[in-house]
Amino acid sequence: MQLSARELAAILGGTVEGNPEIKINRPSKIEEGGEGSISFLGNPRYEAYAYQTTASILLVNRQFQPRQEINATLIRVDDVYAAIAILLQHFGAPEKPEGVIAKEAAIHDSVSVGERTSVGRFSTLEEGVAIGSDSVIADQVYVGKGVQIGCNVFIHPGVKILKDCRIGDNCVLHANVVIGGDGFGFAPQADGTYQKIAHVGNVIIEADVEIGANTTIDRGTMGSTIIRSGVKIDNLVQIAHNVEIGKNTVIAAQTGVAGSTKIGQSCRIGGQVGFAGHLTIADGTEIQAQSGLASSVQSPNTQLFGTPAIGYKEYIRSYAVFKKLPDLYKRLFQLEKKINQGLNGNE
């Protein structure tokens, strides 16, 4: 793909300073650049690179005032990071073959495939599957009995969607995601063994959800595990049975959510956060990475940190004291020693 500065400015709502006809064919980091590339300056700490970069075009904020000459053509925009998001959509969008059904695919006679939907090599679509229009089922995908998949869905290679699960419109499932595996449910027996508990529910994923590679979302024991519309889930996340994730919540990598926990809307959850089971997390909750939630959060827009998690500001104040504990212990030990010596001297 080649675009001129003029064309890019029209796409991004920006204005050109320099050669409007210069063309680029790829994005680049500002410190690497390269002829025919476009980069950006969003953080003032990288300003020095703006005067050195060999990129052909540089995205900058409208308020940016260079202190030296810049060789690159500038495109000034209101929000550099928003413009980069739009730009990367143009360059990073996966190619979508329209209506190609690979001869190596195994498709049951009862399957319904919408217009312009593609199915890749060695993918399996079981009995009763229905897929909407303009979707892509990549290579080596397994879609179990009765699964319903909406329109404009992109299922990357190796994904497994098990029996009776539902995937809404405009969703993206990255490589090796597993939707609808059994939850971790076992009943302890008198002899010390464990009896497996059957999981007969499903997973419902609403519209506009994106799920990162190797994430697993377990089916409900009974009823459904539900991922509401607009949720974004990173790689390597574990969502247990009967969990509900509220609309527009984002979850970073290696987070684990135990069974039947309900997370509200518009929450922001850092990496490696752990949730105990049967919790309720209020809308707008923000949780720092590596925190552990052992109790419910009742107040919306709460900021939490630590294990067990406490208020973010409270944690920062507590940590400031915690760092001083070795020195405080040493001073306390010396004080006790002097007191004991004084007492012994008075005997």
Q: Is 238 exposed, middle or buried (0-12, 13-18, 19+ CB in 10 A)?
A: middle
Report how far residue 85's alpha carbon sits from residue 46's, in angstroms, rounded to the nearest whole number.
19
In a domain, 340, yes or no: no
Q: Are residues 169 and 260 in the same domain?
A: yes
Host domain of residue 170: 159-308
Q: Are residues 168 and 274 in the same domain?
A: yes
Which residue's entry shows tokens 């998949």?
Answer: 149
> Among residues 114, 242, 104, which one has the least CA distance to residue 183?
242
- Among residues 92, 125, 147, the one where a domain terminates is 92
In a domain, 37, yes or no: yes
pLDDT of residue 224: 98
Q: Are residues 171 and 79 in the same domain?
A: no
Report how far residue 40's alpha carbon sits from residue 61's, in angstroms, rounded to the nearest whole number.
9
Q: Are residues 184 and 284 in the same domain?
A: yes
| pTM for the model | 0.81
Provide φ and ψ at 105, rounded to 5°.
Answer: -75, 145
CA-based max dimension of the chain: 99
β partners of residue 227? 205, 245
pLDDT of residue 347: 55
Here the CATH number for the domain that contains residue 88 is: 3.40.1390.10
| One-letter amino acid for residue 202 of the chain | N
Q: Are residues 75 and 191 in the same domain?
A: no
Length of the chain: 347
pLDDT of residue 346: 60
In a domain, 292, yes or no: yes
pLDDT of residue 69: 94
Q: Are residues 164 and 34 in the same domain?
A: no
Per run of 10 residues, the mean pLDDT along the chain (length 347 residues) is 90 94 93 93 92 95 93 95 88 75 96 96 98 97 98 97 98 98 94 95 98 98 97 98 98 97 98 97 97 96 92 86 86 86 69
In a domain, 39, yes or no: yes
Number of domains, the chain: 2
- Among residues 92, 119, 134, the one where a domain terminates is 92
In a domain, 182, yes or no: yes
Which DSSP category does 101 fall into? B
Task: Supply 23's token pair.
Answer: 């063309």
Q: Would you call 90 a catalytic residue per the annotation?
A: no
Q: Are residues 223 and 299 in the same domain?
A: yes
In a domain, 217, yes or no: yes
Here the CATH number for the domain that contains residue 294 is: 2.160.10.10
- Among residues 57, 92, 127, the one where a domain terminates is 92
Q: Are residues 179 and 301 in the same domain?
A: yes
> Among residues 112, 88, 115, which one has the least CA distance to residue 100?
115
Q: Is 95 exposed, middle or buried (0-12, 13-18, 19+ CB in 10 A)?
A: exposed
Q: Are residues 73 and 179 in the same domain?
A: no
The residue from 156, 174, 199, 241 that is catalytic is: 241
In a domain, 58, yes or no: yes
| Pair type for strands 310-311 and 303-305 | antiparallel
Q: Are residues 166 and 286 in the same domain?
A: yes
Does 66 sit behind a cis peptide bond, omega within 30 degrees of 0 on the bond before it?
no
The radius of gyration computed from the CA coordinates of the chain, to the nearest angstrom, equals 27
In a domain, 145, yes or no: no
Are 87 and 12 within 8 A, CB to CB?
yes
Q: Are residues 85 and 188 in the same domain?
A: no
Q: Are residues 167 and 56 in the same domain?
A: no
Report how far residue 105's alpha carbon sits from residue 175's, in angstroms, rounded to the nearest whole number.
18
Report how far residue 323's alpha carbon sits from residue 328's, in angstroms, rounded to the nearest whole number.
10
Which residue's entry shows tokens 């247990």?
Answer: 240
Are 39 and 53 within 8 A, CB to CB?
yes
Provide φ and ψ at 113, rounded to 5°.
Answer: -120, 125
Task: Supply 91's token pair.
Answer: 């360059």
